[in-house]
Amino acid sequence: MSKPPTDTSGLGYSYHLPSGGLLLRLKNSLSQFSDLFSEFNRYIAPAYHHDRCERSVHMRLYSMQKREFVMVFLGFLICFGLAIVIGLTGPPITSTSEITAKSILANTTLAKSKTVLATGPFAMKSPLMTTYSQQLWLIAKLVTDNNDDEKYDKSFHVSVAIDGITEQHKPLSILRADSVRNRTRHLSCVRNDCEEFTILHLGFLEYAHYIITVRFYGLESFHQKYNIRSITFYFKTYSPEFTQIEIWFRFIFLLFTFIVICWYAHTLRKYPIYDWSIEQKWMSILLPLLLLYDNPFFPLIS
């Protein structure tokens, strides 16, 4: 009969390294993740099957009846439909006025020049601008005599000089002649119709009228080949009627948002923030952000 192996340490114990390797590590990691989620789960707003003890402040959402849900959604749909109807029947967003290059050059010495449509200069006066106009775009559209079924793209430069008309009816240089800005534009045409391109954009209107002088560079060869028949300039601004409606809408939503914030703070004032649910905490952040989104200073900058 063989003898059992003797214990060399003399303590009567033997130690074995744990087995399992990567699988055991993965199991331990999942166990730690489960414990972490369990700690986080206690802060989540309760569901119908959750225990109400050790939970957050009771939310009205979880005790609403079907009739109340229907009324809430019905109110939302009515407000949404009312906004669509006002948008469809209300004034247009932008207001556009146009002027042709031939009418600009009619009383000038350049009217008889054959290349004036390809070069300019085109000095034009903008329509009356008010604070409700907000912004100004100047857009140009070319029409040629080309009748071939082809598409072509021409790169050229545009220079712009701007003068503002003061209350004393005197021009004040905004963009001086010695610092004229040059911008590269692309003229894309199909047959005799060319796409519109933006010449300038003013994001803030300080004067009631502007005198804008436009010059083209690099269209001479294009004019010789396709013959520019006409150029139409469009002055586009926000419609004053639309701006007034926008101001009223912002004011109404600003007032309602402020009322909801006051009501929300009054409702939760007796509960410590620690007991608020995640939805309630986020709502306390989103409501002030919504107040800023309505932009209380919009009437001052429009």
pTM of the predicted model as reported, rounded to 2 decimal places: 0.67
Query: Nearest Cα to 269, choosing from 285, 254, 280?
Result: 280
Residues 78-87, mean pLDDT to the nearest whole number:
87
**Looking at residue 53, what is its pLDDT?**
42
**Looking at residue 234, what is its pLDDT?**
94
**Looking at residue 48, what is its pLDDT?**
47
**Looking at residue 49, what is its pLDDT?**
46
Q: Which residue has the tokens 């793209």?
A: 153
Angle, CA of 75, 81 and 83, to the nearest 5°: 105
Q: Going by C-beta distance under 8 Å and a sequence separation of 6 or more, which residues neighbour residue 28?
A: none
Q: Which two tokens stand for residue 250?
A: 């912002």
The rounded mean pLDDT for the chain is 79
Is residue 130 over pLDDT 80? yes
Is residue 73 over pLDDT 60? yes
Spell out the domains of the chain, with CATH numbers in brackets: 60-89+242-301 (no CATH), 94-238 (2.60.120)
Q: Where are the alpha helices (DSSP H) in 90-168?
A: 101-105, 116-119
Give pLDDT tens digits for 237-263.
Answer: 999 888 888 888 888 888 999 999 999
Q: How far is CA 59 from the centre of its chain?
A: 34
Beta bridge mates, 197? 140
Query: Nearest Cα to 155, choosing from 183, 184, 180, 181?
Result: 184
Helix (H), strand (E), coil (C) string for 205-249: CCCCEEEEEEEEECCHHHHHHHCEEEEEEEEEEECHHHHHHHHHH
- How far apart are alpha carbons 134 and 30 in whole angstroms? 58
Q: Going by C-beta distance under 8 Å and a sequence separation of 6 or more, which residues neighbour residue 141?
A: 194, 195, 196, 197, 231, 232, 234
| Lowest-pLDDT choice from 104-118, 128-142, 158-172 | 104-118
| Peptide bond preceding 18 in cis form (omega within 30 of 0) | no
- The four Cα atoms 77, 80, 82, 87 give a dihedral, to 10 degrees, of -160
| Lowest-pLDDT choice from 18-32, 43-57, 171-185 | 43-57
Is residue 30 over pLDDT 60? yes
% of the chain at pLDDT higher than 90: 8
Give pLDDT tens digits for 54-71.
Answer: 456 667 767 778 888 888
Q: Which two tokens stand for residue 270?
A: 């007796």
Q: Where are the alpha helices (DSSP H) in the chain?
A: 22-41, 66-89, 101-105, 116-119, 220-226, 240-267, 278-293, 298-301
| Lowest-pLDDT choice from 98-107, 256-265, 290-299 | 290-299
